[in-house]
Structure 1
Amino acid sequence: MTTSRDEIMQKAAELRDALSATEEISFYKKAEETIDANSKVQEKIAKIKLLQKQSVNLEHYGKFEAMKETEAQIERLKQEIDDLPVVRDFRRAQVDANDLLQSITREIDQNVTRKLETRD
C-alpha cells in the first residue's frame, strides 16, 4: 500500500490541529497573548529598540563611552523584562511547548527511520 503526498500532508494537518489543542500549546498561546497585551513589557521593548538604534549611531560616530552606557541600559531593561512574572510564565510555557514539539519530532524521526530500515 502506498501513501500519497496529499495523504501525508493531510495527516500533518491533523497533527498540527491536535497539537494546537494540547495543554502546553494552549498555555503558550495564552502566555504569548498576555505578553503582547502587557503595556509594561511593550514599553520596555520599545525603549530597548530605541536604545539599540542609538547605540549603533554612537558606535558609528566613535562615541564608545556613550555606547557602553547605552548598552548597559539595554541590559538593565532586558533584566527588568526577564524579572516580570508574566515573562517568566511565558518563558516556562515556551520551554514546555518546545519540549513537546521536540519529543514528537524525535518520535516521528525514529519511527520513520525504523520503518525505512525494515523495508530493505
Structure 2
Amino acid sequence: MVDRNELWAEAEELADLIIQSPEIIQFKECELALKEVPEAQVMMAQLRELQEQIAEFQARRVPFEHYKHMMHDMESLLEKLENIPEVRKFQAAQSAVNDLLQAVTNQLAKAVLERVTGEVSGCSSGDC
C-alpha cells in the first residue's frame, strides 16, 4: 500500500514536469506580455467589477431588466479585449494549458482504470 505522502510527492514531481512544458512556458510569456498593456489591464479590472455587480444582482434575484445594461457593457468590454493581440495570445496559451492538464488527467485516469480493471480480472502484472 502506498503512503499518501508518497503519492503527494509524486504529484509534486509531475507538477514540476508540467511547469517545464512548452505550454506553461508560453503561458507565462503571454501573461507577462499582457501585463505590459495598460489598456487591457484597465478593461479587465472594469470587467471584473461588472461581473461582481452582476453576480450580486443575480444572487439577490433582481429582475434582469434592472441590470441588463451591465450585461451589454460587459459584452462590449469583452469584444474590445478580444481585439487586443496580447489578450488573444494569452487566451490561446491558457487554452493550451487547459488542454494539457485535461490530457494529463485523462491519461492518469486511463492508466489507473486499466490497472484496476486488470487486477480485478485476475491480471495484476499488466500483461493482459
- Per the normalisation by structure 2, the TM-score is 0.73
Does the alignment pair 1:113 with 2:104? no
Q: Spell out, residue by residue over 1:39-58, the C-alpha distance to the aligned partner (whole angstroms, 9 max, x if none).
A: 1111112333555649x6xx
- Runs of 4 or more, structure 1, over 4 Å off, are 49-54, 67-70
Q: Which residue of 2 aligns with 1:30?
A: 29
Q: Structure 1: which 5+ runs fail to align?
A: none
Cα pair distance change 1:25/1:51, threshold 3 Å: closer
Does the alignment pair 1:90 with 2:80? no
Superposition deviation, residue 25 in structure 1? 0.9
The total of aligned residue pairs comes to: 114
Cα pair distance change 1:23/1:5, threshold 3 Å: same
**AA matched with 1:116:** V
**AA matched with 1:89:** K
Identity %: 27
C-alpha separation between the residues in 1 aligned to 2:90 and 2:10? 29
- Per the normalisation by structure 1, the TM-score is 0.77
Structure showing the higher helix proportion among its residues: 1
SS at match of 1:44: helix
Q: Which residue of 2 aligns with 1:42?
A: 41
Superposition deviation, residue 29 in structure 1? 1.9
